[in-house]
Amino acid sequence: MDRKIRVLVTGCDGQIGRVLVPALRERHGEMEVVASDLREPEVSGPVATLDVTDADAVRALIAREKPDHVYHLAGVLSAVGERDPGRAWQVNLNGFLNVLEACREHGVSRVFFPSTIAVYGPDAASEATPDDAPTRPTTVYGIAKAAGENLAAWYRRRFNLDVRVLRYPGVIGWESLPGGGTTDYAVEIYHAAVANETYRCPLSAERALPMLAMADAIRGTIDFMAAPAEQIRQSTGYNLGGFSGAPQDFVAAITRLMPTFNVQYQPDHRDQIAASWPAGLDDSAARQDWGWAPQFDIDSLSEEMLAQCAAQLAARAAALAAEVAGRRYDNVERLQRKAG
């Protein structure tokens, strides 16, 4: 990995993409990482607009940029996908097929595909779900991702294209806002706490799910893609585990630091989705094959999340105060000119 690697990221404006792109640019150089999304990304460095459902556009971009590695993050998340299953299928599976075909045609050496715990259904082991558990999902999001895992394995076998798959749990970070996933509550709850707001939780108090700090997700993804090909032994994907947490666990971690924080549990359709997912992941294969090890647990992550969300809130308040002060100064100047 010492030589220069040129990278293309699709879906760079998503929850993970907004954090992954800067990390990749730090590793490979700003000009070697092209950030693409449906609308032109508001970031410095090489950018492109790309609709991954447009096969010709995908082919043209990959032919022009000539990436060595493609991180294919473009996707529609679980809760949004249930409202618009046709769009979710087009983006999450057909979009991935377009990327794979373009990568095969233009000599891309390595492709990253983010899968999810949503590929597992209620017949998979709930605790410590292994990589090889049955994938019979209950959502369109999970169905498309499970099909994508098999598509990745087929391209590896048929065309020797190095397609690598990670199954993410709920990813929690302060760096970007959630994008319509069932586990979004685990980000929203910290923002509510620092804003001194009552949080209305869409999952029941005891609904445990696998979770992962954003910092761990980014580091794990980059390490996974940097690992030698002989260490990647599972063609359909690896579980990426962090810790298991239910809403009541997050509340307990937050109230240890902010005792007055209040939550109201108002389970909705997202609780039904979460009920079909694992409560914990067995990521022993990732640990053994390519050295995966998370660094955050729920308590250390909560401390960091509250500190960072509070800093963001203070920065927004300071910016607003400066804007109001500027308007007041402009109004005073205008009145003085009028009076003079």
- Locus of tokens 């809130």: 313
pLDDT of residue 330: 63
pLDDT in tens, 214-253: 999 999 999 999 999 999 999 889 999 999 999 999 999 9
pLDDT of residue 140: 93
pLDDT at 333 over 80: no
Residue 318: how many other CB atoms lie within 10 Å: 10
As assigned by CATH, the class of the 7-307 domain is: alpha beta
- The whole-number average pLDDT for the span 162-188 is 89
pLDDT at 2 over 50: no
Q: How confident is the model at residue 320 (pLDDT cuts 50, 70, 90)?
A: confident
Q: What is the pTM of this model?
A: 0.89
Kind of pairing, strands 243-245 and 209-213? antiparallel
Spans of all domains in the chain: 7-307
Cα–Cα distance between 146 and 140 in angstroms, integer? 10
Cα–Cα distance between 241 and 215 in angstroms, integer? 13
- The catalytic residue positions are 141
